[in-house]
């Protein structure tokens, strides 16, 4: 059961500058342990798409290497051919590049080391440090003991090395079916650490491998492969998540046996994995959401996959900022989704062009504006960046405003339009509502206003009168229809998969709404993945795939402020 009491919300203004891993690296540099060399690696298994948790590990491994002038390797840990595929390899490369990191020539695969791993296994056998087991999987489990009871030695533990070697070679030659034998390290069946009770290091799998084809029918296990791969690549600091803490003695044991055969003995350092509220982050659950069609594929903008957050509108910089801000520690904790969302707001507030969109249109007719007249208004591309210039927004007699910006019977403190009230149409004139036009069903069709021609923004008369409300608008004639996808959190429960909850029952039914809105003309040329602030409406991205010159499609990345619980879910 996940401990919700440790839930923390990070102060969004604090930026982590140091952490225990930097302290270790600084100490190593001072003592010259690695001659100043820093070499890290990000070692995904290509069996699924990466998620935001992996981004923490990517930013940490690549980020440390970058900060210390070292290198970071991208290594595919491809020792489980049944579950792995090239499709995932390609997607992972794409994610890492998108996040802004480079592995240069350091792209590796654990399968690159199959020959060396095999050779080392033979060596361990000849040194009586490994033996061929023929107990069944169930028997092995039985012999292993429990957390409170020691295991007992397998009858095959004393098998002579020559016999084990012969069997191992015949395993490799394909003489036996899957599961007939395994190779086990000979460590200590009474160890309090179960990982040290003669772990299996090789198994028979007559399976085609995406890189080595049918060359192998025996495959090394993760714990054996990982430490040797690190050592062969000269990794200095092998950073991994806390669940590997109990595997560290095995990591060290394997490398200690091979001390004369591998170039170095990297230091494994564990850190707490990212837990983020309102998401699930296990590859298995992500796969289920996709295969059960509960989302629209791997890059559904509501998913925590990196492909998903990219399509949602997240910037690589926002994710790197998030990784920096949450920091790294040894303590498991929960990070609130607002921390991630605020990182995006912060980035886009500074970088996104301002544009106008009307999401829920209401017609506004200016009775005293000449029928065929049009004029230009000028709106800044960014309020804090005057050098980014202004663009022209055409004004005419019939406009669209947001339905929410009009109330026939205003509540107390409502300063937008209502009968008799005045507002400023941003970048244009002050208008006063004089009439409400309804259809036979009593629904509002349009509202009528009169405008004050002496109050145009940017002219001397602009400040002659002050009004409280300031609303956005588009000229109906010039507005461009657009498909607008309003995304929200995928789950309505902050801990959708804690305890024995069924995360599929925690889905937020309002996480996706597709609406037909209007956008200003300047957005016709928006490029796929270009991001904007739609004034007063939030941050949006032109959809990576569906945006075309003939069809404008924008996804809402995030609202302007954290409105969770206040609007959609009140």
Binding site for ligand ATP (CB under 6 A): 43-45, 53-54, 56-57, 240-241, 273-274, 281-283
Identified catalytic residue from 56, 283, 391, 489:
283
Tell me the closest approach of the beta carbon of residue 43 to ligand ATP, in angstroms.
6
Closest CA to 419 of 410, 430, 428: 410
Encode 495-507: b = buried (16+ Cβ within 10 Å), e = exposed.
Answer: bbbbeeeebeebb
Structure tokens at 336: 């609130």
Sequence-distant (≥ 6) Cβ neighbours of residue 411 within 8 angstroms? none
Closest CA to 128 of 199, 210, 191, 184: 184
Coil, strand, or helix at residue 237?
strand
Query: Which residue number, 45 or 134, has a Cβ lying nearer to ligand ATP?
Result: 45
Pairwise CA distance, residues 314 & 323, whole Å: 13
Query: Which residue number, 56 or 472, has a Cβ lying nearer to ligand ATP?
Result: 56
How far CA 273 is from CA of 297, 490, 493, 517, 563, in Å, comes to 25, 21, 20, 40, 27
Query: Which residue number, 164 or 279, has a Cβ lying nearer to ligand ATP?
Result: 279
Residue 220 contacts residue 62 (beta carbons within 8 Å): no
Residue 432 is a catalytic residue? no
Identified catalytic residue from 2, 33, 116, 273:
273
Tell me the closest approach of the beta carbon of residue 405 to ligand ATP, in angstroms.
42
Query: Which residue number, 45 or 483, has a Cβ lying nearer to ligand ATP?
Result: 45
Tell me the closest approach of the beta carbon of residue 286 to ligand ATP, in angstroms.
7
How many other β-carbons are positioned within 10 Å of the β-carbon of residue 80?
A: 17
Residue number with the shortest CB distance to ligand ATP?
53
Q: Phi first, then psi: give them for residue 117, nearest 5 degrees.
A: -60, -40
How far CA 342 is from CA of 10, 98, 345, 369, 385, in Å, comes to 11, 20, 5, 42, 21
Query: Which residue number, 274 or 449, has a Cβ lying nearer to ligand ATP?
Result: 274
Tell me the closest approach of the beta carbon of residue 42 to ligand ATP, in angstroms.
6
Residue 273 is a catalytic residue? yes
Pairwise CA distance, residues 189 & 202, whole Å: 18
Tell me the closest approach of the beta carbon of residue 241 to ligand ATP, in angstroms.
4
Identified catalytic residue from 22, 33, 37, 45:
45
Place of tokens 């900060």: 67
Structure tokens at 433: 């509502």
Tell me the closest approach of the beta carbon of residue 76 to ligand ATP, in angstroms.
9
Structure tokens at 333: 């904790």
Residue 529 is a catalytic residue? no
Tell me the closest approach of the beta carbon of residue 80 to ligand ATP, in angstroms.
10
Residue 75 contacts residue 42 (beta carbons within 8 Å): yes
How many other β-carbons are positioned within 10 Å of the β-carbon of residue 564?
A: 17
Tell me the closest approach of the beta carbon of residue 283 to ligand ATP, in angstroms.
3
Tell me the closest approach of the beta carbon of residue 321 to ligand ATP, in angstroms.
16
Query: Which residue number, 44 or 199, has a Cβ lying nearer to ligand ATP?
Result: 44
Query: Which residue number, 153 or 241, has a Cβ lying nearer to ligand ATP?
Result: 241
Sequence-distant (≥ 6) Cβ neighbours of residue 78 within 8 angstroms? 45, 46, 84, 89, 109, 110, 111, 209, 210, 211
Pairwise CA distance, residues 286 & 304, whole Å: 8
DSSP 288-326: HHHHTTSSSSTT-TTSSBHHHHHHHT--HHHHHHHHHHH
Q: Phi first, then psi: give them for residue 553, nearest 5 degrees.
A: -130, 125
Query: Which residue number, 299 or 402, has a Cβ lying nearer to ligand ATP?
Result: 299
Name the residues annotated as catalytic: 45, 273, 283
């Amino acid at each position: 059961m996940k401990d919700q009491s440790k839930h923390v919300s990070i102060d969004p203004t604090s930026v982590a500058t140091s952490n225990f891993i930097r302290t270790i690296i600084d100490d190593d540099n001072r003592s010259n342990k690695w001659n100043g060399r820093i070499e890290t690696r990000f070692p995904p298994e290509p069996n699924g798409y990466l998620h935001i948790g992996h981004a923490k590990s990517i930013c940490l491994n690549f980020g440390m290497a970058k900060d210390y002038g070292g290198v970071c390797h991208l290594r595919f840990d491809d020792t489980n051919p049944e579950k792995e595929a090239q499709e995932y390899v390609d997607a992972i490369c794409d994610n890492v590049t998108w996040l802004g990191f480079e592995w240069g020539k350091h792209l590796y695969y654990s399968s690159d080391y199959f020959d060396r791993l095999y050779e080392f296994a033979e060596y361990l056998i000849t040194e009586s440090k490994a033996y061929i087991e023929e107990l069944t999987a169930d028997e092995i489990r039985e012999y292993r003991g429990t957390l409170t009871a020691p295991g007992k030695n397998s009858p095959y533990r004393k098998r002579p090395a020559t016999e084990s070697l012969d069997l191992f070679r015949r395993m490799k030659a394909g003489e036996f079916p899957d599961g007939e034998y395994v190779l086990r390290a000979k460590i200590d069946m009474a160890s309090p650490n179960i990982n040290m009770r003669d772990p299996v290091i090789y198994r028979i799998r007559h399976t085609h491998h995406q890189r080595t084809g049918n060359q192998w029918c025996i495959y090394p296990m993760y714990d054996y492969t990982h430490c040797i791969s690190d050592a062969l690549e000269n990794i200095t600091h092998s950073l991994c998540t806390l669940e590997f803490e109990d595997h560290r003695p095995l990591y060290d044991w394997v490398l200690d046996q091979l001390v004369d055969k591998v170039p170095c003995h990297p230091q494994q350092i564990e850190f707490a994995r990212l837990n983020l509220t309102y998401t699930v982050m296990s590859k298995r659950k992500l796969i289920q959401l996709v295969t059960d069609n509960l989302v629209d594929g791997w890059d559904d903008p509501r998913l925590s996959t990196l492909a998903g957050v990219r399509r949602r509108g997240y910037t690589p910089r926002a994710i790197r900022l998030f990784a920096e801000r949450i920091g790294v520690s040894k303590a498991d904790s929960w990070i609130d989704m607002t921390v991630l969302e605020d990182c995006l707001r912060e980035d886009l507030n500074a970088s996104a062009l301002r544009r106008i969109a009307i999401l829920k249109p209401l017609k506004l007719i200016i009775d005293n504006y000449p029928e065929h007249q049009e004029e230009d208004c000028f709106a800044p591309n960014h309020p804090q960046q005057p050098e980014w210039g202004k663009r022209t927004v055409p004004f005419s007699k019939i406009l669209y405003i947001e339905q929410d910006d009009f109330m026939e019977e205003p509540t107390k403190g409502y300063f937008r339009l209502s009968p008799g009230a005045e507002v400023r149409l941003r970048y244009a004139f002050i208008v006063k509502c004089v009439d409400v036009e309804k259809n036979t069903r009593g629904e509002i069709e349009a509202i009528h206003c009169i405008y004050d021609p002496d109050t145009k923004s940017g002219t001397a008369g602009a400040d002659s009168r002050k009004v409280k409300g300031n609303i956005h608008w588009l000229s109906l004639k010039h507005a461009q229809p657009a498909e607008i996808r309003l995304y929200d959190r995928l789950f309505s429960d902050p801990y959708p998969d804690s305890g024995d909850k069924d995360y599929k029952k925690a889905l937020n039914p309002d996480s996706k709404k597709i609406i037909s809105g209007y956008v200003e003309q300047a957005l016709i040329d928006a490029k796929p993945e270009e991001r904007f602030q739609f004034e007063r409406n939030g941050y949006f991205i032109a959809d990576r795939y569906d945006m075309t010159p003939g069809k404008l499609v924008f996804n809402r990345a995030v609202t302007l402020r954290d409105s969770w619980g206040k609007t959609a879910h009140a």
